């Protein structure tokens, strides 16, 4: 029986183009956490650098009023970013389980 399961897993891996899927329900939680930690931190860091670069450009180009306007609009940007993340991840999970 174990041989049949191994053959099925090997065939499934070949059909998926060599991409090994992670079983989020049965794999070690600590291992999964650290596997997703670096991409998550990297994405947050890139977004922060993007906002910092915008602040510098607007500060040099427009001045203090531009910085004030940017500080007023940044929460709206975060709201759009969070909503996009919510819909993207939720849609992906919904697509996988359908």
Phi-psi region of 27 (alpha: psi -120 to 50; beta: other; left: phi over 0): beta
Fill in the DSSP letter of residue 27.
Answer: S
| Span 53-70, pLDDT tens digits | 988 999 999 999 999 998
Number of H helices and number of E strands within the chain?
3, 0
| Span 60-97, pLDDT tens digits | 999 999 999 988 988 998 899 889 988 988 888 777 77
Q: Give me 39's structure tokens.
A: 């991409």
Query: Is pTM beyond 0.95 here?
Result: no
- Closest by CA to 80, choosing from 47, 39, 41, is 47
């Amino acid at each position: 029986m174990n041989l049949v399961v191994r053959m099925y897993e090997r065939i499934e891996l070949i059909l998926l183009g060599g991409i090994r899927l992670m079983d989020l329900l049965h794999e070690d939680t600590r291992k999964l956490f650290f596997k997703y930690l670096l991409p998550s931190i990297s994405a947050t860091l890139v977004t922060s650098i993007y906002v910092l670069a915008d602040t510098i450009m607007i500060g040099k180009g427009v001045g203090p009023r531009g910085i004030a306007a940017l500080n007023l609009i940044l929460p709206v940007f975060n709201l759009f970013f969070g909503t996009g993340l919510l819909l993207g991840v939720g849609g992906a999970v919904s697509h996988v389980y359908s």
